[in-house]
């Protein structure tokens, strides 16, 4: 590649640089002594960059190949998409005006996104005599941040300007004295809030009324979750461990005639022989079912994730278990569980990424 830069008004001041292109492309920035970018270009191996700058002091080049970019599916970019890359000193006005999804070493190709050259990209800096210089004596940061890599198209991720409240008010709700640690807080679809610990339960109604009670659970609180939206209340799993043997009991907690009522319900009747140790309950909007996420025994005493779809039938839990059959499931450790607005359940954990459970379509989809 022949890189030609006119450094002054006279054509006799041409500087010829040879670079080894990566995939046939070199990103070029010409800057003054203070690091202000004067011009940019993206050159293929048959192009010549020819400009005149009286104030030019530094010429910075970066090799550019498609491996430095990621498509929206996080796969390397194909060559045709790389041809759409626009290089400039400012972000295009019709785009997002910002970098939508910056990565440490790669850039995500997103319509309308404009990103500065990533810090992880290694540059070559030359003076006007063509000599390579160390970065220590060059104002490199403003040069790098003054070169924008943009993708055409309308912004697909508009920045929503959400006004923040001008004041915030913290209101203690309980307990009034002799507090005991709460282990979990959950919200029901009705607006009822429940806070649970081994010695205290507290429910806050949508009108702000607080009902709390000291209690003694028969074991450690494993997890708590909201009951289906038509049933304002919560389901608790309590581990009444005896030595190394786990024995889980289940309780519902509701408000009835202004008082807190706790009832024990029978353990889930599960299809399949192996027991399921609960980790989380997740309710679904407008559905009397909820999803129980937990673990079941695996080879040599290890536990792997498992799930069940449950209904509360009187004072009994009726559940149908289904398998989470995904690669390397024996290494999973569940981190969090939540419900999307459409009722699908999202499970995230180590060594798995994210799994979406769609009960209506009877599908489990790793994403």
Q: How far apart are CA 329 and CA 302, in angstroms?
A: 11
Q: Is 0.85 topped by the overall pTM?
A: no
- Of 105, 126, 150, the domain-final residue: 150
Is 278 found in the same domain as 335?
yes
Residue 137 has a pLDDT of 79
Residue 282 counted as domain residue: yes
Residue 209 counted as domain residue: yes
Residue 135 counted as domain residue: yes
Mean pLDDT, the chain, rounded, equals 76
Give percent of the chain above pLDDT 90.
3
**Secondary structure class of 253 (helix, strand, coil):** strand
Residue 159 counted as domain residue: no
Query: CB of 190 within 8 A of CB of 232?
Result: yes
Indicate whether 95 pLDDT > 60.
yes
- Of 125, 150, 175, the domain-final residue: 150
CATH number at residue 237: 2.130.10.10
Query: CB of 339 within 8 A of CB of 284?
Result: yes
- Over residues 269-315, the pLDDT tens digits come to 565 556 677 888 877 667 788 888 877 766 655 667 777 888 888 88
**Per-residue confidence band for 159, with pLDDT thresholds at 50, 70 and 90:** low
CA 16, 18, 24, 26 torsion: positive or negative? negative
CA 197, 201, 202, 206 torsion: positive or negative? positive
- Over residues 12-59, the pLDDT tens digits come to 445 555 555 555 688 889 999 888 999 888 887 666 666 666 788 888
Residue 175 counted as domain residue: no
Angle made by CA atoms 15, 18, 24, in degrees to the nearest 5: 130
Residue 200 has a pLDDT of 81
Is 136 found in the same domain as 238?
no
Residue 160 counted as domain residue: no
Query: CB of 79 within 8 A of CB of 44?
Result: no
Is 106 found in the same domain as 33?
yes
Residue 138 region by backbone torsions, left for phi larger than 0, else alpha for psi between -120 and 50, else beta = beta
Name which of 185-189, 237-241, 326-330, 347-351 the model is least confident about. Answer: 326-330
Is 130 found in the same domain as 232?
no
Q: Which domain holds residue 49?
A: 2-150
Is 229 found in the same domain as 106?
no
Q: How far apart are CA 146 and CA 359, in angstroms?
A: 49
- Over residues 168-199, the pLDDT tens digits come to 666 666 556 666 678 888 888 888 999 888 78
Residue 321 has a pLDDT of 75
Residue 147 has a pLDDT of 92
Q: How far apart are CA 90 and CA 246, in angstroms?
A: 62
Task: Provide the number of structural domains found in the chain.
Answer: 2
Query: CB of 143 within 8 A of CB of 28?
Result: no
Residue 246 has a pLDDT of 62
Residue 81 has a pLDDT of 78
Residue 7 has a pLDDT of 52
Q: What is the mean pLDDT of residues 60-81?
A: 76
Is 141 found in the same domain as 275?
no
Q: What is the mean pLDDT of residues 193-216?
A: 84
> For the chain, what is the radius of gyration of the CA atoms?
30
Q: What is the mean pLDDT of residues 58-81?
A: 77
Indicate whether 72 pLDDT > 50.
yes
């Amino acid at each position: 590649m022949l890189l030609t830069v006119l450094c002054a008004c006279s054509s006799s001041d041409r500087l010829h640089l040879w670079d080894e292109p990566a995939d046939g492309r070199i990103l070029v920035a010409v800057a003054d002594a203070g690091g202000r970018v004067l011009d940019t270009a993206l050159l293929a191996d048959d192009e010549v960059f020819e400009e005149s700058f009286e104030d030019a002091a530094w010429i910075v080049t970066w090799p550019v190949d498609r491996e430095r970019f990621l498509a929206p599916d996080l796969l390397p970019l194909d060559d045709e998409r790389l041809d759409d890359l626009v290089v400039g000193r400012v972000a295009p006005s019709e785009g997002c005006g910002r970098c939508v999804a910056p990565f440490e070493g790669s850039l995500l190709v997103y319509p309308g996104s404009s990103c500065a050259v990533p810090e992880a990209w290694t540059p070559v800096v030359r003076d006007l005599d063509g000599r390579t210089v160390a970065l220590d004596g060059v104002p490199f940061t403003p040069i790098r941040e003054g070169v924008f890599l943009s993708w055409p198209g309308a912004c697909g991720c508009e920045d929503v300007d959400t006004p923040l409240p001008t004041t915030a008010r913290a209101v203690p709700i309980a307990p009034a004295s002799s507090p005991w640690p709460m282990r979990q807080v959950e919200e029901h679809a009705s607006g009822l809030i429940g806070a649970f610990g081994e010695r205290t339960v507290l429910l806050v109604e949508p009108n702000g009324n607080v009902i709390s009670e000291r209690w003694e659970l028969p074991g450690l609180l494993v997890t708590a979750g909201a009951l289906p939206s038509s049933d304002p209340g919560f389901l608790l799993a309590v581990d009444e461990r005896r030595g190394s043997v786990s024995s889980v009991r289940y309780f519902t907690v509701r408000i009835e005639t202004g008082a807190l009522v706790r009832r024990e319900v029978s353990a889930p009747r599960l299809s399949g022989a192996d027991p399921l140790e609960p980790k989380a309950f997740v309710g679904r909007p407008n559905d009397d079912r909820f999803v129980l996420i937990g673990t079941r025994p695996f080879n040599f005493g290890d536990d792997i994730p498992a799930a069940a779809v449950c209904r509360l039938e009187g004072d009994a839990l009726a559940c149908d278990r289904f398998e989470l059959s995904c690669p390397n499931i024996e290494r999973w450790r569940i981190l969090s569980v939540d419900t999307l607005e459409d009722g699908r359940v999202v499970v995230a954990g180590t060594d798995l990424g994210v799994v979406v459970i769609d009960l209506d379509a009877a599908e489990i989809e790793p994403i």
